[in-house]
Amino acid sequence: MKRRTLLGGTITAAVLGLTFGLNSAALAQQPPIKIGMSMAQTGGLAGGGKASQLGIEIWRDDVNARGGLLGRKVELIVYDDKSSASETPAIYSKLLDVDKVDILFAPYATVPTAPLMPLVKQRGMLLMGNFSFQVNSKVGHDMWFNNAPWGPADSWAASFLELGQKAGGKTIALLAADQEFAQNLALTARDVAKKMNMQIVFDQAYPPNTVEFSSILRALKAAKPDIVYVASYPPDSAGILRAVNEIGIGNNVKIFGGGMVGLQFGAVMENLGSLLNGVVNYNTWLPEPSMQNEGTKAFFETYTKRAIEAKVDPLGYYLAPFGYASGQMIEQAIKAVGSLDQKALAKYLRENEHKTIVGPIAFAADGERKESATLQAQFRGVVDKNMDQFRKSGTQVILFPAKMKSGDLISPFEAARK
């Protein structure tokens, strides 16, 4: 009998605890403006998630130092989503129904964001996206704004393939990891190649966590492609570059890289060192003169100091300034609208161009950037074991987009490697 009583008690306690215990809303006199989000603090995306969060926190401190928004302090409520899609619906429901946040920021990356889109659409909430890829294309939420510079879905592959074509490339090899992001890139690359009348001579997906790439690269080399488009994740990016260094890639390759994740992070770049030379890869922000905007320098001064404490990427170019930019955009919208009305804020964000530390941002109807600002940059003169070289301009020369261009492509790849 006692066992049953205990069991009943446990169930009741759990149910009651969930319904009443968490219901108590914060009661402050002049309540702060609450911005809620989940962020990967553990799991595979944690490295990026933490850096992104630091960027947003620096903005919060800056805006509070300026007196807050609408005369109220800004407060962040952040929960760990463990890099997983299955955690975010409950977290965002907590943010909305229990914490009663005023503004929602999306978690870092596509997978944790995807399950949120129907929820925010149903609740009529504005959502500031954080580096996800095409999560709104099916849902069609008109209050979604992605801070990432991706732009139209195919612009990513298009910019790289155009660079290759200009260098005289006609045939393409595709090498992509069997994971969400890489497969999305490969998919658009196939479409773009068809449009540009380029022939795909090698198309290979490899399982995640592959470490040995020499056999794949030998097969790739045998296909004699002019352009090698790689969509890979951090561990495999390193593996692929090591294999290229060992067995070479052939003299006809004009351009190599494109969508390699990991080559944006300080630790990975320092580790790979001279193996990076010649690779043309996507990026979001680089310390080239064309990328300096109002506030950029001050932001990175603060970031560099706080990154040591927070134990995140010491460079922080990839995500952190865009987290800050999300804050700046919301700040401008709230100031212009003068309230926290979601519809009015969304209208303002959609119709205006916003000044941020990563440059001006304007949104298309689907909430992605109007124009792609995804950089394609070539590594030059990189030496081994040196983090500070990446803080200088000229180490990663921007080839695309034209507005921010800081140099021309060195081709073929074998020549650029030296």
DSSP 8-state assignment for residue 354? B
> Residue 27 or residue 65: which is nearer to other proteins going by CB?
27
3-state SS, 42-103, equals: CCCCHHHHHHHHHHHHHHHHHHHHCCCECCECEEEEEEECCCCCCCHHHHHHHHHHCCCCCE
Q: How many residues bind other proteins (CB under 8 A)?
A: 52
Residue 86 contacts other proteins per CB under 8 A: yes
Residue 25 contacts other proteins per CB under 8 A: no
CA dihedral 407, 408, 409, 412 (to 10 degrees): -130
Q: Name the amino acid, one letter, at 124.
A: G
Residue 19 contacts other proteins per CB under 8 A: yes
Binding mask 142-181 for other proteins (x = CB under 8 A): ------------------------------------xxxx
β-bridge mates for residue 396, sequence order? 379
Residue 222 contacts other proteins per CB under 8 A: no
Residue 7 contacts other proteins per CB under 8 A: yes
Judged by CB under 8 A, the residue of 128, 174, 182, 243 near other proteins is: 182
Binding mask 223-252 for other proteins (x = CB under 8 A): ------------------------------
Judged by CB under 8 A, the residue of 14, 298, 383, 387 near other proteins is: 14
Judged by CB under 8 A, the residue of 70, 98, 200, 310 near other proteins is: 98
Q: How far apart are CA 84 and CA 325, in angstroms?
A: 25
Instruction: Using alpha carbons, list the distances in angstroms from residue 240 to 188, 235, 275, 280, 376.
Output: 21, 9, 10, 14, 19
> Residue 4 or residue 66: which is nearer to other proteins going by CB?
4
Whose CA is closest to 251, among 230, 279, 225, 229? 225
CA-CA-CA-CA torsion sign (305, 310, 314, 319): negative
Q: What is the CB-side half-sphere exposure of residue 148 using CA atoms within 13 A?
A: 26
Residue 207 contacts other proteins per CB under 8 A: yes
Residue 89 contacts other proteins per CB under 8 A: yes
- In DSSP notation, 115-134 reads THHHHHHHHT--EEEES--S
Residue 216 contacts other proteins per CB under 8 A: no
Q: How do beta strands 280-283 and 375-379 pair?
A: antiparallel
Judged by CB under 8 A, the residue of 61, 93, 360, 388 near other proteins is: 93
Residue 214 contacts other proteins per CB under 8 A: no
**Plot region of 359 (φ>0 → left; ψ -120 to 50 → alpha; else → beta):** left
Instruction: Using alpha carbons, list the distances in angstroms from residue 98 to 25, 77, 93.
Output: 7, 12, 8
> Residue 177 or residue 416: which is nearer to other proteins going by CB?
177
Measured at the alpha carbon of residue 341, what is the angle toward residues 332 and 18, in degrees to the nearest 5?
115
Judged by CB under 8 A, the residue of 31, 64, 70, 94 near other proteins is: 94
Binding mask 332-371 for other proteins (x = CB under 8 A): ----------------------------------------
> Residue 85 or residue 404: which is nearer to other proteins going by CB?
85
> Residue 200 or residue 344: which is nearer to other proteins going by CB?
200
Judged by CB under 8 A, the residue of 26, 90, 362, 387 near other proteins is: 90
Residue 84 contacts other proteins per CB under 8 A: yes
Whose CA is closest to 205, among 228, 231, 177, 238? 177
Residue 183 contacts other proteins per CB under 8 A: yes
DSSP 8-state assignment for residue 391? G
Which residues of this protein are in contact with other proteins, per CB under 8 A? 2-4, 6-8, 10-11, 14-15, 17-19, 22-23, 41-42, 78-80, 82, 84-87, 89-91, 93-94, 96-98, 110-111, 114-115, 117-118, 135, 138-139, 178-184, 187, 205, 207
